[in-house]
Amino acid sequence: MVNGKRVLIIIPALNESGSIADVVGEVRGELPGVDVLVVDDGSTDRTAAVAAAAGARVAKLPYNLGVGGAMRLGYRYARDNGYDVAIQIDADGQHDPRYVPKLVDQLDEVDLVIGARFAGEGDYSVRGPRRWAMVMLSLVLSRVAKTKLTDTTSGFRAANRRVIEMFAGWYPAEYLGDTVETLVHTARRGYTIRQVPVAMRKRMAGTPSHSPAKAMIYLGRAFAVLTLALIRR
């Protein structure tokens, strides 16, 4: 329970046996009253077993569906088990669970809360095409959602019951669909969105890619996904 609400933390994980125990342990330490669901997205390592040993509930997908597929499973679990709030956290340890109560507080006023980098707290910077993509996404999505959004691809978000029910029935499994398209869809259906500044930490395991070619491809794909999301019903 956080502020009288039943809260589920959803952690989509793919081959994260190196960091998942620490992430689950930290969440349970910081937030004693919440339940943690690790969605193992078809890992080939011991992610599911390690997460279960660390005290999380585990839902193991038979094969890889991508973050979107794992998240819809998480929202279905939240809906079926009657949670008031569902919070998505990355399995690599870059999201600090101490911000969770801050996100939950905002759910009194809005339906979906995003924990955003670049919003004043912490240091995080990107350059080149990846930066252009982020600027484009935040400009367009801020207009669609009628609120300032600076970090649209953040995987740190909190949803209330209404949004949980929507996401349980509809959640795209495609590339960037879990972030960009869900924002467009949510805003279009009249739900309110707000961002909350959070500091991100260095990942406990894994490294982000820095190749310029990949950044260009990312820009193109982001543009395509955004355009498609805007012309879809």
Binding segment toward another protein, per CB under 8 A, in 63-71, 92-100, 179-187, 220-228: 63-71
Report the nearest approach of another protein to the CB of residue 12 (Å): 12
For another protein, what does the binding mask look like between residues 14 and 43, x meaning CB under 8 A? -------------------------x----
> From residue 141, how far is each of 54, 65, 117, 129, 201 by CA, in Å?
37, 25, 16, 18, 25
**Residue 49 found at the interface with another protein (CB under 8 A):** no
Beta carbon nearer to another protein, 69 or 155: 69
Structure tokens at 169: 């029935």
d(CA 10, CA 27): 11
Shortest gap between Cβ of 51 and another protein (angstroms)?
12
Counting residues that bind another protein (by CB under 8 A) gives 16
Q: Considering only residues 150 through 189, tell me which ones interact with another protein, judged by CB under 8 A.
A: 173
Of 11, 14, 47, 77, which one interacts with another protein (CB under 8 A)? Answer: 77
Task: Let me know: does 119 contact 150? Beta carbons within 8 Å.
Answer: yes
Q: Please state, in angstroms and rounded to a whole number, the distance separating the CA atoms of residues 150 and 147.
A: 10
Give the H or E element holding residue 78.
helix 67-80
Question: Binding residue for another protein (CB under 8 A) from 22, 30, 45, 59?
Answer: 59
Which of 4, 62, 123, 233 binds another protein (CB under 8 A)? It is 62
**How many Å apart are CA 124 and CA 201, to the nearest integer?**
9
Q: Are strands 112-116 and 157-159 parallel, antiparallel or unpaired?
A: antiparallel
- Rank residues 39 and 89 by Cβ distance to another protein and give the closer one: 39
Could you tell me which stretch among 26-34, 61-69, 186-194, 221-229 binds another protein (CB under 8 A)?
A: 61-69
The CB-of-45 to another protein minimum distance in angstroms stands at: 17
Identify which of residues 80 and 108 has a Cβ nearer to another protein in the complex. Answer: 80
Reading across the β-sheet that carries 157-159, which strands appear in turn?
Answer: 57-60, 35-40, 7-13, 85-88, 157-159, 112-116, 193-197
- What is the 8-class DSSP label of residue 196? E
- Six token digits for residue 30: 């910081």
DSSP β-ladder status, 85-88 and 157-159:
antiparallel
Shortest distance (Å) from residue 21 CB to another protein: 18
Instruction: Give residues in contact with another protein (CB under 8 A).
Output: 39, 57-63, 65, 69, 72-73, 76-77, 80, 173
